[in-house]
Structures are given as structure tokens and as C-alpha cells.
């Protein structure tokens, strides 16, 4: 090991080789590797070598410099003596761990970690040792400098961050057995003075170095459909969605002269058995005339332009029913897992044939776009059978190829904030940015707003965030409307029949149903980045721009309902131009004048 007692930045620690590798094999035996040497290969390449002679395991960490951004590659090899003997392999999970110590004193920290398989949320404590497992984005501040650490998903391996007793752990997992060698791109570290530019530049550099498994958001096309007001059936009907119920809802919206231009028929419409997809048809009892009938009525009688339907990335939650006629017909394009589940093949070519046949049929019945749920289940289905990188890339490539052909790439990705999903969608541009809106939970909005604002710090460089549907006629209806207004993404609601408050929708739209969408995804203001507004007596502030104007939304999301205090300033909006500004307080209908760096107290 090459470890000193001097505190350093994480960049300098990596460049110096002050890391401790631990290898875990498939029998769960662990080996600590010893530092051997550092070789300066070129001005931009440095390699650190580590070894454990007793176990015959060697590892190298190669650092590649891009100015103030560095990439970290990891290569490892297990020496197996005889070809015919039983070999030793890397463990499927956390096979390679790099312990990073002696990191400089931290003045601020905001990490995004997977608190569920599907979703991420922020962590704020300055104590790295307590940082949760499966952290996929980490921003730190030391004095006036910001450091951004970004683990990635390569062809086989996924990298994650976690705290340990004396610093930070970098874990590499393939989620499959049989590897006795590894060469993978693991993570990026960027340094800069502007945290927003830093995360953007680091993510764009990483995408390019990985060979563009996805595109940066600014290279993607936002779907025209989602520029208009929508309604979703989920919180209105849940699994009991049916044609007559949807028509009743449309009658209500027509009477209230609310120009809903797209409708999403969510979970509950499909023909399923035992939690598995049984056919491509709609449920006969709920939609006796099929999808074509409801689609035609919505478009011809209620002014709806686009109709979408929901399905999961496995077809349905549990995959495809193995005893169905569908499974027999589509057998060539399905994958049977080791625990006898059937899912669309994660092989891109085979999986495409499954999606192409289904989506073609949906298109013929008047369906214009899809919401694809449960995306982070891909690894849960395929664990220990194929590597996480290979599986995710194949599954998303297959799905998006079909969506591109049949729906002009109009897809709402959902339950897919696991990093293997984020890094491997080739071209789709919209993805859910938080856990679900839950109308019946007392602190739902407080957690929902927290997740959306802080997840957007990293997620917005890949996708426009879908900040989810909401109820207009709700105790938090105004807060939810404002949150969507600054989200920069879709605006849609899910009120039951008779419950929509049109007055709370109209400020968000034009007369033709087009939403007044902001220029980009909403982001937390810089003075909020390292504060936890659930626990500290400070407001959550989200900034955006609309044409040349700045927009700031401030919320009290303190979990104990304490009064919060903060400031509003034109300089909260990154990149705003001008020296003098007029501030309009929408809710209180008041006007103020402020200089660009002048601050106004709010509470």
C-alpha cells in the first residue's frame, strides 16, 4: 500500500495510488492486495500495480486524465494453475473493492443512492463512512472546490460507491460467475468551481469514453406528445381500469373544458394470469371492444391526440406466462431464466422481435406511445446468468429499437433509476425521476419533492425527468402543480372521476393543451445542494429558466413542519443574464426589484 497520513482530495489520492484493493472470490474468500509500483505511462496515463503472491491475484488501476476529469480503469487476473482443475473465479457481487482513505476534510456532501432497486434519493451527511451502499453519484465540496465522483456501468461490470470506516469504497460487480479476469472502466472523478457544469462535463466525458451506450440529454429529442397536458389512469382506477370508467373521466374533462391531449392507460388493462402476461390482447372484461375502440373514442369524441399504454420490460411484473399460447408463439424470442421465468430475450436481436410484434399490434390498434415499467428488474431476472452490463444493454437496445419504429421514440421509462438502466438506454429521452406520487401518504410530497430535486442533479444530464402524475384535488395539489411547473418535464394528473380541479391545471397550460414547459430539467439551487430540507430549517429551492426568464420555486418540506427560513436571489438561477431584475411572487401576487446578487428573505 502507498498510504500517507496527509489528508488529500480524492483526485490526488487516486493519482498517488493511495488505495487498498480487496478481492472477493466466488467461495467468499477475501484477499488484500499489496501495492507494488506506479508507472507513468504518458502525460495522461498512470498505472498503479497491486498483487497478492499467495493467492496469485494481480490488479492494476489505470488512471486516464482529461484535464480536470480523470477516468479510472481496473484490470484484475486470477492465476489458475491447471486448465483441467476447478478454477477460482471472482464473486458475482463486490468481487473487486477499492478502499480509498485519507480524503480531504469535507465541507459539503450530497450523494444519490439506490434506496430501492428502482429509485434513488439523496444523502447529505459529511461523514463518508456512513454513506449508503449503491451510491451512484457523489458531489463533495472542499473549501471553494467541488469534486464529483461518478461510478459507471461498462460492458460487464457495474461500479458503486459506499462508505467504510476510514473513507470510501468502490465496489465492482458483474452479477454473474465464471470470470477469472476483469478489465473495466469503473468511475470518473471531476474537479471544478461550478457544481452544475462539473456534473454535466463529467457525465458527458464518461458517456463518450464508454462508447456512447446512451446519449447526453442535450443530444436527445423530447417527445412532442409530452409537450401537452396528459391524464393517467393509475391513481384514478389502479388495477380496476376499464373502458367505461375512462369514458366517464373524459366526459368530466370535456365538461370542464380541460384540453387533455394524451391519455395513458396504466396497469390493469392487460390479459394476465398469475401475475404474468397471457396474451397481447386487452382484458376482455374491462375492455370488451379492445384497445382500438377506446383509442378511437378518445380521439374522435374527446379531442385526445395520443393514447398510450403501460407494460413492463418483462411484459408483465412476473414475465410471460409459460403455459400461454403467447409463450409458444414467441418462444424463439423469449429467455427462460434459471428459476423458470420467461421474459423477452436480453439478446438485442431476439428481444427486438418480441417487442416489434407487440408494438406493431398496438400501433395498429391506435396506440401512439408506451410507458415501460419495472426496468430495474432486468438484473433481478438475469442475475447469475448474464453480466449486468450485457443484460441491460441488450434489453434496452431491443426495446428502444421497436419503440423508435412504431412510436417515434415516445416512451416514458419508469422504475429504472438503477445505474445499469440509466447508462444503457440508447436514445430515449424521458425517464421517471423519483419514487411514486402516493396520494394517501402524509409525507408523500415532502419525500417526493426531495427526491425529484436532488435526483435531477445527476439524472438530468441523461434524461428529462418525469416527476410523476399527481392529484389536482388534494391537500398538496398546489405544491404538486408548482413542482411540475419547474420540472421541465411532462405534466399529467391522475384524479378519479369527478375529482379534477381544473383551476389548478389551467395556469400550467395554454388553451390548446400545450404545457408551459421550462427550458431544462429543474435543479436544486447551489445554496441547497448540501442541505437536507427534510431535517434542516431551510427551504427546498428548485430553479429553472423559461425563455429568458428565471424561475425559482421554494417549498417547506420539513418533516416536523417547522418554519423554514432562506433567501431568494436572481443569482440562484445559473447563467442568468442582466444586472437588475423584477421578481414576481406568483402566489402572493407581489412584485419586487432586486440586483443580480441581492437576496430577499423568505419564510
Tell whether 437 and 465 lie within a shared domain.
yes
Tell whether 48 and 107 lie within a shared domain.
yes
pLDDT at 440: 86
Q: Is residue 221 part of a domain?
A: no
CATH number of the domain that residue 19 is part of: 2.60.40
- Left (φ > 0), alpha (ψ -120 to 50) or beta: where does 464 sit? beta
Q: Which residue in this structure is represented by grid cell 427486438?
A: 352
Residues in contact with 258: Cβ distance below 8 Å, sequence separation at least 6, in sequence order: 229, 500, 502, 505, 506
Tell whether 348 and 431 lie within a shared domain.
yes
Q: Is residue 217 part of a domain?
A: no
Return the half-sphere exposure (C-beta side, CA atoms, 13 A cut-off) of residue 600: 19
Helix (H) or strand (E) holding 546: strand 540-546
Tell whether 53 and 202 lie within a shared domain.
yes
Q: Is residue 216 part of a domain?
A: no
Q: Is residue 98 part of a domain?
A: yes
pLDDT at 369: 99
What does each C-alpha distance from 554 to 26, 189, 437, 486 come to in angstroms? Answer: 50, 31, 19, 10
Tell me the C-alpha distance between 383 and 339, whole Å: 11
The domain tally of the chain equals 3
Tell whether 494 and 531 lie within a shared domain.
no
Tell whether 539 and 514 lie within a shared domain.
no
Tell whether 108 and 44 lie within a shared domain.
yes
Of 163, 182, 211, which residue is a domain's last? Answer: 211
Q: Average pLDDT by consecutive 10-residue portion of the chain (603 residues)?
A: 55 83 97 96 94 95 96 97 85 97 86 98 94 98 94 98 94 97 97 97 98 98 99 98 98 98 99 98 98 98 99 99 98 97 98 99 99 98 97 99 99 99 99 95 88 99 98 96 98 98 97 98 98 98 97 97 97 96 96 96 95
Q: Is residue 223 part of a domain?
A: no
In terms of C-beta density within 10 A (0-12 exposed, 13-18 middle, 19 or more buried), how is residue 115 classed? middle
pLDDT tens for 556-566 read 999 999 999 99
Tell whether 233 and 207 lie within a shared domain.
no
Global pTM value: 0.96
Residues in contact with 588: Cβ distance below 8 Å, sequence separation at least 6, in sequence order: none
Tell whether 510 and 529 lie within a shared domain.
no
Helix (H) or strand (E) holding 70: strand 69-78
Is residue 305 helix, strand or coil? coil
Q: Is residue 1 part of a domain?
A: no
Q: Where are the alpha helices (DSSP H) in 128-224?
A: 195-209
Q: Is residue 218 part of a domain?
A: no
Q: Is residue 5 part of a domain?
A: no
Q: Which residue in this structure is represented by grid cell 467461495?
A: 27
Backbone angles phi, psi at 420, to 5 degrees: -65, -25
Tell whether 350 and 318 lie within a shared domain.
yes
pLDDT at 7: 58
Tell me the C-alpha distance between 276 and 413, whole Å: 20
Tell whether 294 and 364 lie within a shared domain.
yes
Tell whether 205 and 233 lie within a shared domain.
no
User: Is the distance from CB of 345 to CB of 315 less than 8 angstroms?
Assistant: no
Domain that holds residue 19: 10-211
Of 178, 211, 244, which residue is a domain's last? Answer: 211
Q: Where are the alpha helices (DSSP H) in 342-471?
A: 348-364, 377-382, 388-407, 419-422, 444-459
Of 487, 518, 549, which residue is a domain's last? Answer: 518
What does each C-alpha distance from 187 to 74, 158, 173, 202 come to in angstroms? Answer: 9, 10, 13, 10
CATH number of the domain that residue 265 is part of: 3.20.20.70
Nearest in space to 186 (alpha carbons), one of 41, 61, 78: 61
Amino acid at each position: 500500500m502507498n498510504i500517507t497520513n496527509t489528508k488529500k482530495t480524492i483526485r490526488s489520492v487516486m493519482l498517488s495510488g493511495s488505495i487498498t484493493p480487496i478481492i472477493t472470490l466466488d467461495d467468499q474468500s477475501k484477499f488484500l492486495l499489496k501495492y507494488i509500483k506506479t508507472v507513468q505511462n504518458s502525460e495522461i496515463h498512470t498505472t498503479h500495480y497491486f498483487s497478492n503472491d499467495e493467492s496469485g491475484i494481480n490488479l492494476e488501476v489505470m488512471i486516464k486524465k482529461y484535464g480536470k476529469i480523470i477516468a479510472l480503469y481496473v484490470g484484475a487476473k486470477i492465476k489458475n494453475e491447471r486448465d483441467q482443475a476447478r478454477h477460482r473465479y471472482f464473486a458475482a457481487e463486490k468481487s473487486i473493492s477499492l478502499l480509498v482513505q485519507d480524503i480531504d476534510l469535507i465541507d459539503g456532501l450530497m450523494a444519490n443512492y439506490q434506496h430501492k432497486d428502482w429509485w434513488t434519493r439523496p444523502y447529505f451527511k459529511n461523514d463518508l463512512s456512513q454513506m449508503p451502499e449503491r451510491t451512484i453519484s457523489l458531489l463533495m465540496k472542499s473549501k471553494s472546490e467541488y469534486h464529483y465522483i461518478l461510478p459507471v456501468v461498462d460492458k460487464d461490470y457495474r461500479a458503486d460507491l459506499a462508505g467504510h470506516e476510514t473513507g470510501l469504497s468502490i465496489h465492482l460487480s458483474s452479477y454473474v460467475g465464471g470470470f477469472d479476469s476483469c478489465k473495466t472502466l469503473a468511475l470518473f472523478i471531476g474537479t471544478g468551481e461550478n457544481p452544475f457544469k462539473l456534473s454535466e462535463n463529467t457525465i458527458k466525458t464518461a458517456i463518450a469514453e464508454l462508447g456512447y451506450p446512451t446519449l447526453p440529454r442535450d443530444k436527445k429529442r423530447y417527445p412532442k406528445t409530452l409537450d401537452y397536458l396528459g391524464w393517467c389512469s393509475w391513481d384514478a382506477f389502479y388495477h380496476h381500469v376499464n373502458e367505461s370508467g375512462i369514458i366517464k373521466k373524459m366526459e368530466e374533462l370535456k365538461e370542464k373544458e380541460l384540453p387533455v391531449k394524451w391519455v395513458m392507460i396504466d396497469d390493469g388493462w392487460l390479459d394476465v394470469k398469475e401475475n404474468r402476461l397471457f396474451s397481447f390482447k386487452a382484458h376482455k372484461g374491462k375492455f370488451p371492444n379492445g384497445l382500438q375502440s377506446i383509442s378511437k373514442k378518445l380521439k374522435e369524441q374527446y379531442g385526445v391526440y395520443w393514447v398510450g399504454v403501460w407494460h413492463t420490460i418483462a411484459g408483465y411484473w412476473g414475465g410471460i406466462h409459460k403455459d400461454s399460447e403467447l409463450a409458444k408463439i414467441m418462444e424463439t424470442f423469449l429467455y427462460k431464466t434459471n428459476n423458470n421465468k420467461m421474459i423477452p430475450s436480453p439478446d438485442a436481436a431476439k428481444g427486438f422481435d418480441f417487442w416489434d410484434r407487440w408494438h406493431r399490434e398496438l400501433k395498429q390498434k391506435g396506440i401512439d406511445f408506451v410507458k415501460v415499467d419495472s426496468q430495474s428488474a432486468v438484473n433481478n431476472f438475469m442475475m447469475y446468468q448474464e453480466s449486468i452490463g450485457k443484460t441491460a444493454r441488450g434489453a434496452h437496445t431491443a426495446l428502444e429499437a421497436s419503440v423508435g419504429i412504431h412510436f417515434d421514440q415516445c416512451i416514458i421509462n419508469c422504475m429504472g433509476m438503477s445505474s445499469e438502466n440509466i447508462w444503457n438506454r440508447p436514445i430515449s429521452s424521458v425517464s421517471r425521476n423519483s419514487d411514486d406520487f402516493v396520494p394517501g401518504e402524509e409525507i408523500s410530497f415532502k419525500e417526493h419533492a426531495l427526491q425529484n430535486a436532488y435526483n435531477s442533479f445527476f439524472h438530468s444530464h441523461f434524461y428529462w425527468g418525469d416527476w410523476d402524475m399527481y392529484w389536482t384535488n388534494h391537500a398538496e395539489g398546489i405544491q404538486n402543480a408548482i413542482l411540475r411547473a419547474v420540472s421541465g418535464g411532462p405534466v399529467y394528473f391522475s384524479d378519479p372521476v369527478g375529482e379534477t380541479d381544473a383551476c389548478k391545471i389551467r395556469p400550467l397550460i395554454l388553451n390548446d393543451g400545450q404545457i408551459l414547459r421550462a427550458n431544462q430539467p429543474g435543479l436544486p439551487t447551489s445554496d441547497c445542494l448540501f442541505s437536507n430540507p427534510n431535517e434542516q430549517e431551510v427551504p427546498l429551492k428548485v430553479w429553472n429558466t423559461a425563455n429568458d426568464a428565471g424561475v425559482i420555486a421554494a417549498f417547506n418540506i420539513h418533516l416536523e413542519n417547522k418554519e423554514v427560513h432562506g433567501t431568494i436571489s436572481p443569482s440562484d438561477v445559473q447563467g442568468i443574464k442582466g444586472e437588475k431584475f423584477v421578481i414576481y411572487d406568483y402566489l402572493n401576487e407581489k412584485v419586487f426589484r432586486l440586483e443580480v446578487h441581492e437576496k430577499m428573505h423568505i419564510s
